[in-house]
Structure 1
Amino acid sequence: MRNIIGEICQTFEPDVFIDTVNDYACFYKFPEEANTTVKGVIEKYRMKRESEEARKRQQKEMQILQRKIKQEKAAQIRAEEEIKLATAKIEKQNYEMNELIRRQKMTIKEKIAEAKMLHKIESESCYNFAFAGHTKTGKSSLINSIRGIDDKESTAAKVGIVETTQIIQKYPYYVDKLKNIEVNFYDIPGSGTLSHHTSQYYQEKGLCAFDCLFILIQETFCEEEIKFAIEALKHNQKVAFIQSKCDILLTNRKKQKIITTIDQTAVDEFLEKLKENRISEIRKSNISQLHRIPCFYVSSFNLYNLKNGFELDPDVRYNENELLEFMASEIKFSRNTIL
C-alpha cells in the first residue's frame, strides 16, 4: 500500500493526489480490489497528463507553424511591394529618358506651343505673367499685393508658414485703363522641394508658355535663379528678377543693430548692396545677357498699400513703382495696347 501511495505522490500534483487517495479509501477494507483501483486511477491520470502534454505540444507546433506562415506571407508581400517600386522606378526613368530625348528633338517654337496647351493659354487675347522661384520667396503674397487684395480674402492666392502652393494656380489681374486684353497671374509652386525639384523645374512646369516670367530671388542671389533665367533666355522669353521681402530683410538688419533707423537713405544703401551681390553672382556665369535682365527690389506690404492708396509705414519706397511700370509697359508694347 505504501508503495502505491508513494507512486501517487511522485506522479501527481497535490490536488490530484488527494482525489486519488479518497478513491482509494473507499476500498480500504478490500486490499486487493483497492490496490487494483488505485493503480487504475494512477493509469487514468497518467494517460490524461500525457494527453494534455501531447495537446500542448501540438498547439505549440501549430503556433510555430502559423508564425512561420505569417512571416513568409509578410516577406512575400514585402517582396511584391519592392518589385512594384522597382518596376515603377524603372518605368519613370524610361519615361523621363524618352521625354528628354523627345524634347531635345523639339524646336523652341514647338516647346512653347506644347507648354501653352498644357496651361490652356491663348496668348492673342490675354497677357500672362508667371511668378516662379525657390520655395518661400513670397510669390503668393506678391501676387496678392499687386492685385491689391488681402492675403485672407477668398480670391487671394493662398499663403502660409509652409509652402502652400502645390499646383499652378491662375489669378486674374484687372487694370483700369486696360482695353480688350485679359491679364493673368500664374502662381507656380516653389522649387527646391521633394515635390518640385530644381533640376527640371523650368521644363516640368512649362514655364516657357508665359509671356513674362518673374523669378523671385532668395535673400542672396543663387545659382538656382540664374539657371531659370538662362532657360528663359533660350526660349526668347521676357524675364525679370524680383526680391519681394526687402522690408523684412531691412528690419532684420535693424534688429541686428547693423542700422539704427529705417529711412529712405537706409533703403537706398541696402538696395545698392543687393544689386552688387546680384551683379557679382551673374558675372560668375560668364553670360552677358543676364546683366540685361531687370531686377526689382520691393516690399509686398508697400505694394498692397500703394495699390489701395494707403499710407506707407515707414514712409520709404523700394522699386514698387518701377515694377508696376515695367508690367504695364510689357503689356502695352507686346500687345500694341493703348493704356
Structure 2
Amino acid sequence: MDDIAFEVITEAEIDEIRRHVDEHGLSGLPGLVQNKMRDWQDVPLSIALVGEAAVGKSSFINSIRGLTADDEGSAPVGTGDVTREPTKYCHPYNEQLVFWDLPGVGTPRFPQDKSYLGRVGYSNYDFFLLLSDDRFTSKDIWLAREIESLKKEYFFIRTKIDDAMESAEYTERDFSESRVLERIKKNCKDNFTAGQLKKRPVYCIDCYDKHKWDYSKLMEDILVSLPELKRNTLVLSLSPLTKGVIKSKTMVLRKRVPMVAMASGIQGACTSLIPIPLLGGAIGVSLDIALLATEVTFYLKQYGLNDESLQELSAGTNKPLDYFKDALKDGSAIMTSRQSVKTFLMNMIKSEAAEESVKRVPIELTRFVPYLGALVGGTANFVTAYYMMIKMIDDLEKDAMKVIDAVIDATSSGVD
C-alpha cells in the first residue's frame, strides 16, 4: 500500500476536546464534532459580478453554482434585460455563499461617479468579478480603478471565448487557438495600461465548458486570494468543477480528520459498542461507525461521487450514467464494492491491522498518546479511524479526477 501523508493534530484541537469532555462529558462529543464540521456554512462570502448587459454574468453565476439555465433558482440567461438593482443568487449548497449581479455603471440610474459603488453596496462584497465579452470598456477601467482605491480584490474575466475561436477559425487562414488567446489578452492588457491600472491577469473562459482555457486557473487564484475561513466556505460549497477545485477540497477535508477520528474513537471506547475484531487475531477496535459513515457520505458529495451528483452530471452533459460508472470501474474500493457506506467501513476496519495503522502515524502524534489512551482506551481506536479517513480522502480524490477526465474526453471527442 502506498505511503499516506497525515495531517498533524494540533494542540488547539486536543485542548478543545479536553475542555469539552471536562465540562460536558463524552455524550455530546459527536455533536460537537458535527457542529464544527458545519462551521464552514456559517462564514458569509459575497461575490459581486459587474459588466455590461449580455456579457455572460448570468451564465457564470449558474456555472459556478453548478446549475443550468433550466434549473430552479438559476439566473435568467439570454433575456437581454438590464439589471436595475443588485440581484442576489445564493449557492444551492450554502446560503451563506452569495453571488450578486450588479447593475452596469454609466446608466441614468447608476451614473459613472463616486456614488456608484456606494449605491451598489460595495462594502458588502468580499471581491469583484469584472466580465466582458469583448474589450474592457472605459467604464470597466474606471470601475477597476475605484475598486483598487478601496483596496478590494477583483478579477478580469473575458467571456464567450468559444465564439471568438469560432469566428477566428472561419476568418483566419492560419488559425491558431494559442495566438487568438494571446491576442485577446494583449488587447485587454493594453487597455489596462492605457487606463493606468496595475498589471493583473485576464482570465479567458467559456461558462459552458469549465475545462477549457482559464476557468480552472481563475478558480485557483480566487481561492488563493481569500483568507482561510472564507476559502474553506467557497471550496466546500463548490461542486468539483475542475481538478484545481478537487485538490483544494482534499486539503480542506484532510484538516477535518483529527477531530472526526478522535470523536469516533472516544464514542466507541466509552459506550457499549462491541469491539470489531481485526484480521489475524489482532485486538479489536470500537468506533462510532455512524459518525464515520456521515463523514464519508459528506466526502462523496464533495467529490461529486454520490449517486445524486453522478446523475446530475449525466443529465448536465447528456451522457449516460454508465459512461461515468465505467470511468470508475478501476477506481477505489468504495466506488466498486456496491456496498453501503456503513458496510464498507465495517469491512475496511476488519481488514486493517491496528498495529499496521500505528506504524503509519507520524511521530508528532505520540506526544498525545497519554491523553488519547485515557479517553480512547489506547490509541488503536483513534489511529484506525484516522488512517481510514485519510486514506478514504486520498482514494476519492483520485476517483474524482477520473470523472473529470471522463468529462473532458467526452467533451473533446463527442462521445455519446
Q: TM-score, normalised by structure 2?
A: 0.42
In structure 1, the residue corresponding to 2:99 is in which secondary structure? strand
Match of 1:151 among 47, 54, 69: 69
| Inter-partner Cα distance in structure 2 for 1:160 and 1:336 | 31
The equivalent residue for 1:135 is: 53
Quick check: 1:322 aligned with 2:236? no
Give the C-alpha shift of residue 336 in structure 1.
6.7
Alpha-carbon displacement from aligned partner over 1:77-128 (angstroms, at most 9, x marks no partner): xxxxxxxxxxxxxxxxxxxxxxxxxxxxxxxxxxxxxxxxxxxxxxx82111
Structure number with greater Rg is: 1
Match of 1:184 among 77, 85, 98: 98
Give the C-alpha shift of residue 300 in structure 1.
0.8
The equivalent residue for 2:184 is: 274
Q: Say if 1:267 and 1:332 are closer, same or farther in 2 by CA, change over 3 A.
A: farther
Aligned-pair identity in percent equals 22
Q: Say if 1:174 and 1:323 are closer, same or farther in 2 by CA, change over 3 A.
A: farther
Matches within 5 A, 1:164-175: 164-173=82-91
Give the C-alpha shift of residue 216 in structure 1.
0.9
Match of 1:245 among 160, 164, 168: 160
The equivalent residue for 1:227 is: 142
Q: Given residue 301 of structure 1, which amino acid in structure 2 is its aligned partner?
A: Y
Q: Say if 1:327 and 1:276 are closer, same or farther in 2 by CA, change over 3 A.
A: same
Q: Given residue 103 of structure 2, which amino acid in structure 1 is its aligned partner?
A: P
* RMSD value, Cα: 2.8
Matches within 5 A, 1:76-87: none
5+ residue gaps, structure 1, are 1-123, 307-316
Give the C-alpha shift of residue 192 in structure 1.
4.1
Match of 1:294 among 178, 198, 201: 201
| Inter-partner Cα distance in structure 2 for 1:137 and 1:197 | 19
Q: Say if 1:274 and 1:125 are closer, same or farther in 2 by CA, change over 3 A.
A: same
Q: Say if 1:201 and 1:267 are closer, same or farther in 2 by CA, change over 3 A.
A: farther
Q: Given residue 226 of structure 1, which amino acid in structure 2 is its aligned partner?
A: I
Q: Is the 8 A contact 2:53 2:83 kept in 1?
A: no
Q: Given residue 71 of structure 2, which amino acid in structure 1 is its aligned partner?
A: E
In structure 2, the residue corresponding to 1:236 is in which secondary structure? coil
Q: Say if 1:166 and 1:158 are closer, same or farther in 2 by CA, change over 3 A.
A: farther
Give the C-alpha shift of residue 224 in structure 1.
1.4
Give the C-alpha shift of residue 165 in structure 1.
3.0
Q: Given residue 123 of structure 2, which amino acid in structure 1 is its aligned partner?
A: C
Moved more, 162-171 or 239-248: 162-171
| Inter-partner Cα distance in structure 2 for 1:245 and 1:208 | 29
Q: Is the 8 A contact 1:267 1:318 kept in 2?
A: no
| Inter-partner Cα distance in structure 2 for 1:216 and 1:133 | 5
Q: Given residue 43 of structure 2, which amino acid in structure 1 is its aligned partner?
A: S
| Inter-partner Cα distance in structure 1 for 2:116 and 2:137 | 15
Give the C-alpha shift of residue 198 in structure 1.
3.4
Alpha-carbon displacement from aligned partner over 1:147-174 (angstroms, at most 9, x marks no partner): 1211122210122342253322222236
| Inter-partner Cα distance in structure 2 for 1:321 and 1:241 | 14
Q: Say if 1:225 and 1:141 are closer, same or farther in 2 by CA, change over 3 A.
A: same
| Inter-partner Cα distance in structure 1 for 2:227 and 2:189 | 29
Alpha-carbon displacement from aligned partner over 1:244-271 (angstroms, at most 9, x marks no partner): 211112222234x22576xxxx332211
Q: Given residue 322 of structure 1, which amino acid in structure 2 is its aligned partner?
A: K
Q: Is the 8 A contact 1:135 1:191 kept in 2?
A: no
Q: Is the 8 A contact 1:135 1:193 kept in 2?
A: no
Q: TM-score, normalised by structure 1?
A: 0.51
In structure 2, the residue corresponding to 1:248 is in which secondary structure? helix
Q: Is the 8 A contact 2:130 2:154 kept in 1?
A: yes
Q: Is the 8 A contact 2:58 2:76 kept in 1?
A: yes
Match of 1:198 among 77, 87, 112: 112
| Inter-partner Cα distance in structure 1 for 2:116 and 2:91 | 25
| Inter-partner Cα distance in structure 2 for 1:225 and 1:327 | 19
Q: Given residue 172 of structure 2, which amino acid in structure 1 is its aligned partner?
A: I
5+ residue gaps, structure 2, are 1-41, 233-250, 253-416
| Inter-partner Cα distance in structure 2 for 1:216 and 1:249 | 15
Q: Is the 8 A contact 1:135 1:192 kept in 2?
A: no
Q: Is the 8 A contact 2:158 2:205 kept in 1?
A: yes
In structure 1, the residue corresponding to 2:50 is in which secondary structure? strand
